[in-house]
Amino acid sequence: MQAQASMQKGELLYELHAKNVSTTIKDISPNGIQLEMNDRGEFSGKLHGNHIDTVTVNQKTDGTNEWQLKSIMNTKDGDMVVVWGSGKGRMSGPTTGSWEGELHFMTQSPKLSWLNNSTGWAEGQGNMATGESHGKIYAKK
């Protein structure tokens, strides 16, 4: 996964730290498990503030997953940015995993309007046992 990500990365937009608030098991089948996780946390970098996220994860039996994100970010300056995207991940241990994918942004803030034409590349790690995750979001080249 890292080789693909390094080809996609541009400028670092922000780093995020999140803590899981709730997890719901949506479905269990022979193909895997569908989870819905709600997180909240902080982001810093070119953008600073707090965020809340809903991530739908399709955890496959081979240890890989596909995810979809919906997020609301509120900056320290009072601007709101909504984020959505999707990607793939892989379990690296019994409760740990890494993920990467593409993000899209929308805002009505005049000073952040450049985000409306930007695509982001996300990569990070999470630990289901502690409920913590950390990621970096780059401008996609």
Task: Give the dihedral of Cα atoms 80, 82, 87, 92; nearest 10 deg.
Answer: 40
The tens-digit pLDDT sequence of the chain (141 residues) is: 444 444 578 999 999 999 999 999 999 999 999 999 999 999 999 999 999 999 999 999 999 999 999 999 999 999 999 999 999 999 999 999 999 999 999 999 999 999 998 999 999 999 999 999 999 999 998
Indicate whether this model's pTM tops 0.85: yes
Q: Where are the domains of the chain?
A: 2-140
Cα separation, 75 vs 102, in Å, equals 21
Strand partners, 82: 72, 106
Name the CATH code of domain 2-140 (choices 3.50.50.60, 2.60.120.560, 2.30.30.830, 2.40.160.20): 2.40.160.20
